Structure 1
Amino acid sequence: MTASTIRRTTAKSRIAAVCAVAVAGTLLLTACGDQTDDAATKTGDGATAENSAPLFDKLPEKYQKSGVIKVGTNAEYAPMESVENGKIVGVDPDIAAALGEKLGVRFEFTSGSFDGLITALNTGRHDIAMSSITDNKQRQEGLDDSGKKLGKGVDFVDYFLAGTAVYTKKGNPEGIKSIEDLCGKGAAVQRGTTYEEALEKQSKACTDGGEKAVDIQSFENDTEAQTRVKSGGAVAGVNDYPVAVDLARKAGGGNDFEVVGEQVDAGPFGIAVNKDNTELRDVLKEAVDAIIADGSYQKVLDKWGAGTGAIPKAVINGGK
């Protein structure tokens, strides 16, 4: 989700608000008050008075008391995060649940528009953002595309590796082999993402080489971009590699789309944390390393067909 101050930064949520409440180990859905256009779920075990989780004592006191880490996401990017039967599921929620076992708290996911994730994080609405967010210097430093300072930026705990992929209608009627073949053609993408930036970069390469620019068709959410490709209004779409692969495998029973070429510009996905919240950042890194070490991390990735994105260890601010 393949992200603009994040890999996926601009998408108005189309999901109704729901919450998941853990009762006797079972997730039950209930109404979520005034969280219009949001979806929420909770994962992991809540904190107890005598918490035996190995990393619980390293958590900031705030989370020890509440037993909850609030997570902002945009649940439109299967297999990383999406909504099924009113519940947020995918790689990120399952990784969060595994982290919760190490930390002794539950992770409460709330889905909303992607362009608001960093703001919500830095204003305290969310404790972290976990949503296929590519870690790079621009986001670390809070810069816009022109290098203008927008805010203080965020820190990242890197936990996954993914690149950009091109997908087409099934059968690839225009014979697209890579992003370089999109000169003078229409390409659909979610607005404000790093893969929109990839198209802009390619478009400049096209014109610099004497060819026509890419007709970049940007949409507020990826579902609209997919619809554009399916209808033939764009010859291809661009997305995160694991998302594109999952889309090709599942959409229309595997009959709607196909991925062409190899992923390019692979970079780390990171858990975004407020720069002032260094204690939480550091213990999250320890927790990621712990689930890598005990094998639960790889099991999550393999479950969702995302095993190729595994990393050997967590890194803080490893993006370039």
Structure 2
Amino acid sequence: MKMKKLTALLLASLMAVSMTACGGTPASGDGAGSNDASDSSSESSTDASGSSEESSTDASDSTEEASGSDSAESSDGGSEASGQAEGFTTAVEGKLTMATNAAFPPYEYVEGGQIAGIDAEIAAAIADKLGLELQIDDMEFDSITEAIKGGKADIGLAGMTVTPDRQEEVDFTVSYATGVQVIIVTEDSDITSADDLLAEGASHTIGVQRNTTGDIYTTGDIEDAGLGTIDRYSKGAEAVQALTTGKVDCVVIDNEPAKAFVAEVDGLKILDTEYITEDYAAAMSKENSALYEAVNTALQELIADGTVQGIIDKYITAE
């Protein structure tokens, strides 16, 4: 199997988080606040517990190519109605700080040393409406919630799914996209559908990204039911690499990054079956209602005027 591009993608994502220690305690949930997933990981996984790493990227650089503008900083002319909101505070004065894990294409990924993708562009559009400059902090997925709760980040955009457990930790904006969990297998795999993973007597090893909803759902459906083992990795690319080397039997992950990984690696395929469908939204602190209202209103306006759909269409082709 050709793994050069997958390895390059993995290395790029690892380099993006090698600058500064985050210092935050891993979230009691997924990077978005769910604590259903177990902390145990496979031998080959990178432990995301303890101190995680992050880097900061000013969106005037990180979203430059994706947004088609020279800077994500708001123009002097101000913004629409939502941008006139007053009374909210941000983690850094004059900036909207976005926490993400830039290893989840096409929602967020590192390209040319910059963070690009759907979420980066949406965050830049929100910041522009609010008259703020966007700053993107790249960190381990399961550190995002703590960064938000601790006031180090204003908003978490990382292909986060709204779940009841996460809602106990953070508030979520209106949903801006729908995600689907799918199953990646090798082309010669005997796994043909999600039913094979849930069948009585099943004993597969499933690779997931730690504390994502893929982890949460498979933990409850498979591991807790005694139908298999879940191997947890810090990044989806690591789980896919484990599949190519035979360490896991399949990978459960969101559809869009799954398509990106499979396109770069020979011998893999996505099963023509969905594991579960879910909604993506932005995570925000429960302690800053004024900023939440401003961001949520701005996002609603961007959805209504077609901006969000236009951004998504740039990265995802309708099938």
What root-mean-square deviation, in Å, do the aligned CA atoms of Structure 1 and Structure 2 show?
3.2
Q: How does 1:72-221 map to 2 (within 5 A)?
A: 72-141=99-168, 153-157=169-173, 158-169=175-186, 171=187, 173-182=188-197, 183-203=202-222, 207=226, 213-221=227-235
Alignment pair present for 1:5 and 2:29: yes
The answer for the alignment partner of 1:274 in structure 2 is: 285
The answer for the alignment partner of 1:57 in structure 2 is: 84
Give 2:84's aligned amino acid: D
| Mapped contact 1:135–1:156 kept (Cα < 8 A) | yes
Alignment pair present for 1:248 and 2:262: yes
Task: Tell me by how many angstroms 1:245 deviates.
Answer: 2.3
TM-score (norm 2): 0.74
Task: Tell me by how many angstroms 1:6 deviates.
Answer: 2.7
Give 2:274's aligned amino acid: Q
Percentage of pairs with the same residue? 24
Task: Tell me by how many angstroms 1:75 deviates.
Answer: 0.7
**CA gap 1:64/1:265 in 2 versus in 1, 3 angstroms:** closer
The answer for the alignment partner of 2:253 in structure 1 is: 239
Give 1:155's aligned amino acid: D
| Mapped contact 2:30–2:210 kept (Cα < 8 A) | no
Partner Cα distance (1:165, 1:200) in 2: 15
Greater Cα shift, 58-67 or 69-78: 58-67
TM-score (norm 1): 0.74
Partner Cα distance (1:240, 1:98) in 2: 24
**CA gap 1:27/1:200 in 2 versus in 1, 3 angstroms:** closer
Partner Cα distance (1:287, 1:236) in 2: 39
Task: Tell me by how many angstroms 1:86 deviates.
Answer: 0.9
Task: Tell me by how many angstroms 1:290 deviates.
Answer: 1.2
Partner Cα distance (2:170, 2:114) in 1: 27
**CA gap 1:81/1:303 in 2 versus in 1, 3 angstroms:** same
| Mapped contact 1:43–1:100 kept (Cα < 8 A) | no
Partner Cα distance (1:137, 1:26) in 2: 31
Give 2:74's aligned amino acid: G
Extract unaligned runs of 5+ from structure 2: 1-26, 34-38, 40-46
Alignment pair present for 1:22 and 2:60: yes
**CA gap 1:65/1:287 in 2 versus in 1, 3 angstroms:** same
Number of equivalences = 270
Partner Cα distance (2:63, 2:116) in 1: 15
Task: Tell me by how many angstroms 1:44 deviates.
Answer: 2.4
| Mapped contact 1:20–1:87 kept (Cα < 8 A) | no
Partner Cα distance (2:63, 2:141) in 1: 28
**CA gap 1:61/1:280 in 2 versus in 1, 3 angstroms:** closer
The answer for the alignment partner of 1:45 in structure 2 is: 73
| Mapped contact 1:155–1:274 kept (Cα < 8 A) | yes
Task: Tell me by how many angstroms 1:65 deviates.
Answer: 9.4
Task: Tell me by how many angstroms 1:189 deviates.
Answer: 1.1
Task: Tell me by how many angstroms 1:235 deviates.
Answer: 1.8
Greater Cα shift, 290-299 or 259-268: 259-268
Per-residue CA deviation, residues 139-186 of structure 1 (Å, 9 max, x unaligned), is 111xxxxxxxxxxx11001222112111112x2x12322222132122
Give 2:184's aligned amino acid: Y
Per-residue CA deviation, residues 72-116 of structure 1 (Å, 9 max, x unaligned), is 111111111111111111110011122233222232111011221
Give 2:252's aligned amino acid: V
| Mapped contact 1:168–1:257 kept (Cα < 8 A) | yes
The answer for the alignment partner of 1:149 in structure 2 is: none
